[in-house]
Amino acid sequence: MSDGVRHLYVHLPFCAHRCGYCDFVTLVGRREGHGAYVDALLAELELEGRALADSVETVFVGGGTPTFTTPAELARLLAALPSAQEVTVEANPETVTSELAALLRSAGVTRVSLGAQSFQPELLAVLERQAGPDAVRGAFYHLRDAGFDNISLDLIYGIPGQSAAHLDLDLAEAIALGPEHLSCYELEAKPGTRFTFAHGGELVRQAEAMEGYFELVVERLVRAGYRWYETANFCRPGRQARHNLGYWLGEDYLGVGIGAVSTVGGLRWRNRPSLGGYLAALAEGRPPPREEEPLEPEVASRERLMLGLRLDEPVPLSRVEGAVDGAALARMERLGLAERRGGGLVLTPRGRFLGGGVTAELMAESPAKSTI
């Protein structure tokens, strides 16, 4: 948009511990380095901030574990960020004290995304999470007490050893807390992680049993009054994650911090994940090392299709021109997996359970092939 980028992502990579299944850009410990990193973040924001709109709509502080950052540095960072209608901070339950909740609240944070993952101690142990179920509940109440009326819980399903009954209990616990928003992810055992090394076999054995978990999650949450507004996200009316909604609607965003990605005006770039290079460059006022990826209009159009089909509202056909394989669309319509509605394209509920495959079908092939 010509009047500037309305979404800002800030990456805080520090964690107390790297969980076995995690493949994000994270750094363990290094408390003494937090100040230098915040300096660098603010320097990058200074460099790139001119791309931002006068009025920023959303800020998202993600990690890592943003709330593991030392309180003074976290406060300094939050104070320096542009104000926005929605300011979200990700938090791990064990880091959320009443003091921290108050700090976030007074720093202008409007929304907290709490990484609960599960309420079953043995499953949390499998995930190598540091918080037990009580810490999850405790964190939630600290946030409520501090005045947060927009809290999201992350849950993970498909954990090795997790039965359907376990999942049902987790969902019931989560619903009982009454968060405004829930993100439910199937555990991805990424190749090469030590988690997959340890649990891959078990997951293969359980694959058939776990096939119905996604349906169970949707069914329980929808019955509890949540809207299944995105493939993996559920909310009380009007409580979508507006920052993430920006991604799914194909809007531009600026990301700062190591490993952060920005997409602005047809160009995408990703900062390199190395901390040393990042700090060194910004200490000299230079942009950090990054990889650039120009987005051709047809690629951007395919991305809007891929992202838009994750939502429960139609993606306008005018936004995805040239990206839709017409023959595949006819086939998907015939199979009752996709439908055209009000000048837009949307997956049916069954289509959404098969969203990956259906979207792959619907995507027109990259024209790059014809250059061979």
The residues of the shown chain that bind other proteins, judged by CB under 8 A, are 9, 185-186, 188, 211-212, 214-215, 231-232, 244, 247-248, 253, 255, 259-261, 263, 268, 270, 293, 299, 302-303, 306-307, 310, 331, 334-335, 337, 352-361, 363, 365-366
Are 160 and 206 in contact by the 8 Å Cβ rule? The answer is yes
Between strands 344-347 and 7-12, the pairing is unpaired
- From CA 147, how far away is CA 348, in angstroms rounded? 37
What minimum distance in Å lies between the beta carbon of 201 and other proteins? 21
What minimum distance in Å lies between the beta carbon of 144 and other proteins? 26
What minimum distance in Å lies between the beta carbon of 225 and other proteins? 23
- From CA 53, how far away is CA 55, in angstroms rounded? 5
What minimum distance in Å lies between the beta carbon of 356 and other proteins? 5
The one-letter amino acid code at 35 reads: G
CA nearest neighbour of 81 among 128, 11, 145, 34: 11
Length of the chain, in residues: 372
- From CA 71, how far away is CA 41, in angstroms rounded? 16
Tokens 């498909």 belong to 158
What minimum distance in Å lies between the beta carbon of 188 and other proteins? 6
40 or 364, CB closer to other proteins?
364
CA nearest neighbour of 209 among 147, 262, 163: 163
- From CA 243, how far away is CA 180, in angstroms rounded? 15
Cα dist. 64→26, 68, 267, 291 in Å?
5, 8, 25, 21
95 or 244, CB closer to other proteins?
244
What minimum distance in Å lies between the beta carbon of 359 and other proteins? 6
Residue 288: phi and psi, rounded to 5, are -70, 160
What minimum distance in Å lies between the beta carbon of 174 and other proteins? 17
Tokens 């890592």 belong to 64
Q: What is the token pair recorded at 22?
A: 């995690």
Between strands 7-12 and 84-91, the pairing is unpaired
44 or 100, CB closer to other proteins?
44
- Is the bond leading into 115 cis (omega within 30 degrees of zero)? no
What minimum distance in Å lies between the beta carbon of 360 and other proteins? 4
179 or 308, CB closer to other proteins?
308
145 or 188, CB closer to other proteins?
188
- What helix, strand, coil percent values describe the chain, rounded to 5? 45, 25, 30
43 or 260, CB closer to other proteins?
260
What minimum distance in Å lies between the beta carbon of 112 and other proteins? 17
124 or 300, CB closer to other proteins?
300
Are 220 and 42 in contact by the 8 Å Cβ rule? The answer is no
67 or 244, CB closer to other proteins?
244
Are 234 and 228 in contact by the 8 Å Cβ rule? The answer is yes
Residue 226: phi and psi, rounded to 5, are -85, 150
146 or 241, CB closer to other proteins?
241
What minimum distance in Å lies between the beta carbon of 210 and other proteins? 9
Q: What is the token pair recorded at 101?
A: 């909740």
14 or 253, CB closer to other proteins?
253
Q: What is the token pair recorded at 216?
A: 């169970």
